[in-house]
Amino acid sequence: MPKKSRFLHTPVEPFAIEAGLTVDQVLARMERISFQGRNLATAHRIWLKMLEDDVTIFMGMAGALSAGGLRLVVAHLITHRYIDCLVSTGANLYHDLHETRGQRHFIGSPMADDAALADERIDRVYDTYADEEEFIGNDNWIADFVARLEARPYTTREFLYLLGGHLWDATHRDGILTAAYRANVPIFCPAIADSSIGMGLSQGRQKRAGVGFIDVIGDIVESANLVIRRPRTASVVLGGGTPKNFINQASVQAEFYSPEVTGHRYALQIVTDVPHFGGASGSSLEEAQSWGKLATDSDRVSVHADATIALPVLASALAVTAPPILKQRRMPVFSLASRVMTVDEQDVACDRFEDRNEPAV
């Protein structure tokens, strides 16, 4: 029903309820409604376009998504290569390790008596509980692993690959760290020092002097070189925080050394924060264009929703719609087992940027 005005081209199509709809059908019907429902449907469409195009897909995750029950969704995205590189907060990796080691988080209440919880050494994350003693056990388990590492710096990418391998050997259970290990998907954790993984590293140093050196500056170099090696990129962000910025920083830093890098081609973020207080977590994808983090002609969408609603819906829909595309996907191939990683059999240095701006001799 085209209208007189150039602005009025596509009518809103009211969502029609029907019994037995699969979740991808629900998302398809959301394409033509408004507000965040439409944005969630757009996110689905953009993710499919990312998979069809020849881009390296970075995914950032912040917020307590592992404790909150989404770790196997993320593991699924890794295993089936909906993403090529994960950037995470330490907490998400730690809570993943906690469950992969056979322990659990528990259904709790946000109205709990926190003093009573403290008495029983139960840690609360909003409506979810965990046993602090089990956490101490994890710290010690990580520290023991760390104490056996060589006394040299490790990027978080290398360290987390090794940790994932150790965890897989110990448990043979699925999770984020083990899925990434098995699928050779790199994980960066730029704020590792602000997490229980970091606490485990520090306790490893307590066990054995000289270990527990994490080369987070090497992560910067390595992530930028990864973008220089494969300049076409996409960004999927769950919840803001350091992962969101680190993914953008990789592109900005890479652009400094290589003219071929011009910002992410696709970007989707699922956020609950807002732009108007100026923080990076809530910043808009339009703002990201001014920085060159995002190509100015990129496909992009921000979904203002809690990831515990949006991600299960989105990933369940993709499980139906993406497999044919995944089969034909040209995805980067990594080797991650040593200090120098490779992508598509090319070295990705962590000690020196690959400087494409240098004049060829």
Residues in 56-95 at the binding interface with a second copy, rule: CB under 8 A:
62-65, 67-73, 76, 91
Residue 3 among the catalytic residues: no
CB of residue 52 to a second copy, shortest distance in Å? 18
Return d(Cα 195, Cα 303) in angstroms, integer.
27
Among positions 319-358, residues that touch a second copy (CB under 8 A) are 319-320, 323, 351-353, 355
Q: Are 326 and 294 in contact (CB under 8 A)?
A: no
- The token pair at 95 is 């809570």
Among positions 92-111, residues that touch a second copy (CB under 8 A) are 99, 104-108, 110-111
- Of 12-20, 160-168, 177-185, 331-339, the segment contacting a second copy by CB under 8 A is 12-20
Helix (H) or strand (E) holding 280: none
- Of 47-55, 121-129, 325-333, 336-344, the segment contacting a second copy by CB under 8 A is 121-129
The site map against a second copy for 24-63 (x = CB under 8 A) is --x--xx-xxxxxxx-x---------------------xx
Burial 106-131 (b: 16+ CB within 10 A, else e): eebeeeeeeeeeeeeebbbbeebbbb
Q: Running DSSP on this structure, what letter comes out for residue 64? A: S
Q: Quick check: 360 binds a second copy (CB under 8 A)?
A: no
- The token pair at 148 is 């056996």
- Of 129-137, 177-185, 326-334, 338-346, the segment contacting a second copy by CB under 8 A is 129-137
CB of residue 270 to a second copy, shortest distance in Å? 11
Q: Quick check: 138 binds a second copy (CB under 8 A)?
A: no
CB of residue 137 to a second copy, shortest distance in Å? 12
Angle ∠(243,233,72) on CA atoms, nearest 5: 50
Return d(Cα 107, Cα 230) in angstroms, integer.
42
- The token pair at 19 is 């019994």
- The token pair at 114 is 């926190």
Nearer to a second copy, 235 or 283 (CB): 283
CB of residue 210 to a second copy, shortest distance in Å? 8
Among positions 141-180, residues that touch a second copy (CB under 8 A) are 153
Other C-beta atoms within 10 Å of 3: how many? Answer: 10
Return d(Cα 151, Cα 169) in angstroms, integer.
22
Return d(Cα 348, Cα 143) in angstroms, integer.
28
Nearer to a second copy, 213 or 345 (CB): 213
Indicate which residue of 3, 4, 244, 293 is catalytic. Answer: 293
| SS3 state at 354 | coil
Instruction: Select from 50, 85, 179, 192 the one that contacts a second copy (CB under 8 A).
Output: 192
Return d(Cα 231, Cα 210) in angstroms, integer.
37
Nearer to a second copy, 276 or 330 (CB): 276
Return d(Cα 199, Cα 154) in angstroms, integer.
16
CB of residue 322 to a second copy, shortest distance in Å? 9
List C-alpha distances in Å: 361 to 291, 316, 347: 31, 51, 21
Q: Are 185 and 334 in contact (CB under 8 A)?
A: yes
Nearer to a second copy, 115 or 345 (CB): 115
Return d(Cα 316, Cα 135) in angstroms, integer.
31
Instruction: Select from 178, 235, 251, 253 the one that contacts a second copy (CB under 8 A).
Output: 253
Instruction: Select from 58, 59, 94, 128 the one that contacts a second copy (CB under 8 A).
Output: 128
Among positions 211-250, residues that touch a second copy (CB under 8 A) are 212-217, 219-221, 224, 239, 241-242, 245-246, 249
**Known catalytic residues?**
293
